Each structure stands twice: as C-alpha cells, then as structure tokens.
C-alpha cells in the first residue's frame, strides 16, 4: 500500500468512549486526520462540529461509508452493530477499527472474518487495548524470552469502580453480560501470554452484590471464571462492577521458573501517603485513565498499519477466540455447570 501524507478517518459512535477516540484522532494521533463523524444524536453531532472542527457529520452510517474522502472507519458503536458495520466498511473499501468484542456470537465473527479475507488489502483491527499497554507489552516480551520458564497459569481481573447510578444496568441487556463486556480483555490477554493455546472447557459463577436490576437479564455484578486450555494451562478471571476505591485491572502470569504481576493496586502515581489514617495511595478512577497510553498506541498502530508501515500481530482470529471463550463462560454462568468451549 502506498504511504500517503495522512490517513483520513471517519468515526461512528460518539458516546463516552467514542468521544475520547474522536479527540485522540483529531489532536493526538500521528499521520491521520479526523475528517468525518457519524451519530444519530444531534448533541453529539454538535460536539464534533464545534469542539473538534469536523466538517462532515452524518446522521446515518451509510452516508459516512459513501464519503470518498474517508479512508478508514473507527467503530465505537453498540456491540450488536459491530459485525454488520465492520462488514459494510470493508465492502465500501474502508479500513476498519472496531471496539471489542467483535461480536456476541460466532456466526457474526465468522461473517466478518470471511469478508476480511475477501479484502486482504484492507486492515481490520479489534480494540483489545491492553495489548498496547507498555506494561503488558513488556510482560509478553519477558514471557516470550523465557524469563518465567513455561507459563501455565494466568490470573486476571477487570474491576470497575462502583457506579451508584447503575448506568451499566441499562446497558447490560445488550452487552452480552459481565464476562463478554469486561473479561473479554482478560481472555485475550490470557491466550496471548500463554502462547495462544486452544480453550477446552470453562466454568463460571457469580453474584449480585449491589445492583439487583441485573437479575432481569441474567447478569451479575461480580463474576468468577476458570478456563482450561489444551496442554494443561489454566486461566482464572474475576470481573467486578462494585469496587469502592476505583478501577483495578491486574494480571498475574505464573510459570515454571517465576511469575510476573501487572497492575497491582492500580496506583495513580508513585506517591504513598502516611498519616493518622494509615498508609495509602491514590487509585485510577476508570479504565480510560489506566490505559490512556495504551489507547494512544493502539490507534497509532492502526493508522500505521493502514498506511502500510507495519503489520498487526493482533488478528481477527484472536478476536473470534475471545468471543468463543467468553460465550462458553457466559453459558456456564447461566447453567451452573462446566461448559465445553
């Protein structure tokens, strides 16, 4: 692919995360230009016009795809739309970045993979942002270099600060459940750090600690899962929406000659305060604060791949496997029994 002066990007979906992606594309991502945006909501359209100075703002996705000045599309839309919108972008000749998960079922994942195979000249990337975090990248390098021997166990968690208003309760029916919404990141990390073994069986359990409204859609606000992999490796996942202190993402990789721990205590900085209340440090507030650098690197990597400057190691097959395992975990939560993956 010929390298151009910049990649012209259009974004669809301007909710909380979409607005962050839009600002990053407009102001902080090298070699790209945010030229168009799409949202059915008037106040979101006004935001990108006024704050980000985007000239082309569409109310419908078809209009964005028909724009000849758009080289690539960033999808930050509801998960239920991901597959169809990613396929439409590829059919329109656009590179596509889609937030995780790729889809909530394997059939939709397979449709996207099949369409991507028909367009080998186009880049398709799913936003597993932790792969772009400096600490996780360093961990992967150490594992690959044999620093801890053979890795055989990953323990990983995604724990959000409690939202008393329960915003996610309204979102839960379309999210796929806590494991598909939160633990899908940990699932992808575990496969990556263990060397991409095949998952065989999953078991999950959970409880509702603070948000009884989740019961209506069979979801929980705290969940635990165990996944067994071919070759004897195992992964343990914990997901929570009820942390009192802040957001806490942490991962432990245990090998035959040592272990690695990423993100312990989720410290905001290196300041430790000691006073009459004890010894403590401040904690990051949410996932975006924790992974700000990773989000920036993720989008820069996508742009570089679209410009033909680099190859992606994170594939659509990886995204499909994360969905496959997440679905087995979700089935186990509902059945109370181990489920084949």
State how far the alpha carbon of 313 is from the alpha carbons of 8, 16, 147, 305, 319, in Å: 23, 27, 21, 11, 12
pLDDT of residue 2: 41
pLDDT of residue 5: 84
Helices 134-144 and 292-306 pack at an angle, to 10 degrees, of: 70
List, in sequence order, every residue forming a beta bridge with 259; answer none if it has no partner: 254
Q: Who's near 121: CB < 8 A, 6+ residues apart?
A: 1
Q: What is the pTM of this model?
A: 0.94
pLDDT along the chain (341 residues), means of 10: 75 96 96 97 96 96 98 96 98 98 97 98 98 97 98 97 89 91 97 98 98 95 98 98 94 98 89 92 92 96 96 97 98 97 97
Burial class (CB in 10 A: 0-12, 13-18, 19+), 252: middle
- Rounded Cα–Cα distance for residues 332 and 335 (Å): 5
pLDDT of residue 1: 40
List, in sequence order, every residue forming a beta bridge with 235; answer none if it has no partner: 154, 227
């Amino acid at each position: 692919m010929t390298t151009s002066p910049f990649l012209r990007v259009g974004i669809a979906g301007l909710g909380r995360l979409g607005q962050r992606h839009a600002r990053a594309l407009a102001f902080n991502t090298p070699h790209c230009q945010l030229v168009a945006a799409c949202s059915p909501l008037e106040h979101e359209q006004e935001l990108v016009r006024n704050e980000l100075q985007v000239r082309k703002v569409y109310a419908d996705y078809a209009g964005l795809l028909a724009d000849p000045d758009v080289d690539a599309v960033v999808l930050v839309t509801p998960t239920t739309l991901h597959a169809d919108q990613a396929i439409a972008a590829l059919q329109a000749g656009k590179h596509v970045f889609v937030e995780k998960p790729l889809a909530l079922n394997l059939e939709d994942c397979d449709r996207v993979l099949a369409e991507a195979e028909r367009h080998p000249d186009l880049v398709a990337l799913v936003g597993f942002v932790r792969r772009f975090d400096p600490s996780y990248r360093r961990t992967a390098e150490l594992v690959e270099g044999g620093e801890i021997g053979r890795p055989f166990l990953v323990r990983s968690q995604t724990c959000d600060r409690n939202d008393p208003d329960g915003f996610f309760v309204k979102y839960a029916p379309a999210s796929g459940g806590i494991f598909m919404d939160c633990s899908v990141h940990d699932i992808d990390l575990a496969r990556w750090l263990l060397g991409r073994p095949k998952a065989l069986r999953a078991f999950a359990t959970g409880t509702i600690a603070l948000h009884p409204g989740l019961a209506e859609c069979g979801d929980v606000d705290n969940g635990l899962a165990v996944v067994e992999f071919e070759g004897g490796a195992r992964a343990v996942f914990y997901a929570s929406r009820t942390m009192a202190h802040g957001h806490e993402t942490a991962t432990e990789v245990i090998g035959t000659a040592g272990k690695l721990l990423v993100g312990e205590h989720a410290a905001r900085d290196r300041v430790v305060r000691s006073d009459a209340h004890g010894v403590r440090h401040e904690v990051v507030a949410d996932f975006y604060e924790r992974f700000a650098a990773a989000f920036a690197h993720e989008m820069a990597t996508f742009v570089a791949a679209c410009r033909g400057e680099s190859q992606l190691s994170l594939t659509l097959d990886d995204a499909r496997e994360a969905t496959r395992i997440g679905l087995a975990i979700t089935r186990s939560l509902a059945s109370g029994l181990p489920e084949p993956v």
